[in-house]
A = this chain, B = another copy of it.
């Protein structure tokens, strides 16, 4: 399979959605599906789907459609979900704890190795067996535990500083929930989840309808 190296952000963002729909179908015993059926379920056009899949070398067979479990496995591989990724969460408040409690991420290979906080009342506690450590040992923990991803659940004012410390210690991806546009070097992957912005967009739409 040849992968086009200039795959657009929009295509990349659709991949997890394909994965979700296909995983559901696999679970429900669907063995194969045409791009037209898939397009009906997902609300995309069939040609869009074929185009998207062609970015990754294409997966279908003319006249047969897609083999659901093969396609699942292929997308899982493309998304890197077939590898284990060691993760830490910075900020053990409500959101950090909610993410630590969610077991779904672990099923896809994201293994949460620890949480970090500055609050002495939280340090030493454990959430679902995941220990909360003092932020002071952040750098050595990252190196010692081969941590690849950091999840930022700190207040806004600490988020960039924590990002910088993680990047310096070799972390290659940042999942940021703090309401800042975190800055990272080019070789570090970043996803911002700005919940307030989603809520305000919803508010706009509600008032606009």
Kindly state whether residue A79 has any CB partner on chain B within 8 Å: yes
Within 8 A of B (CB), among A58-103: 78-81, 83, 85, 94-95, 97-98, 101-102
Contact A105–B15 (Cβ < 8 Å) = no
Which residues of B lie under 8 Å from residue A16 when comparing CB positions?
194, 196-198, 200-201
Contact B201–A15 (Cβ < 8 Å) = yes
What is the CA–CA distance of A199 and B111 in the complex, to the nearest angstrom?
Answer: 13
Identity of the chain B residue whose Cβ is nearest the Cβ of A205 in the assembled complex: B189
Which residues of B lie under 8 Å from residue A188 when comparing CB positions?
209
Contact of A43 among B172, B173, B181, B187 (CB under 8 A): B181
Identity of the chain B residue whose Cβ is nearest the Cβ of A188 in the assembled complex: B209
On chain A, the number of residues with a Cβ less than 8 Å from chain B's Cβ atoms is: 54
What is the CA–CA distance of A107 and B82 in the complex, to the nearest angstrom?
Answer: 42
Identity of the chain B residue whose Cβ is nearest the Cβ of A75 in the assembled complex: B200
Which residues of B lie under 8 Å from residue A102 when comparing CB positions?
94-95
Identity of the chain B residue whose Cβ is nearest the Cβ of A195 in the assembled complex: B193
Q: Contact mask A15-47 → B, CB, 8 Å, 1/0?
A: 111011000000000000000000000010000
What is the CA–CA distance of A199 and B101 in the complex, to the nearest angstrom?
Answer: 16
Kindly state whether residue A108 has any CB partner on chain B within 8 Å: yes
Contact of A148 among B79, B105, B206 (CB under 8 A): B206
Which residues of B lie under 8 Å from residue A43 when comparing CB positions?
181
Q: Contact mask A103-115 → B, CB, 8 Å, 1/0?
A: 0110010100000
Closest A-B pairs by Cβ, 8 of them: A80-B207, A189-B205, A16-B197, A94-B98, A16-B200, A173-B206, A98-B98, A191-B202
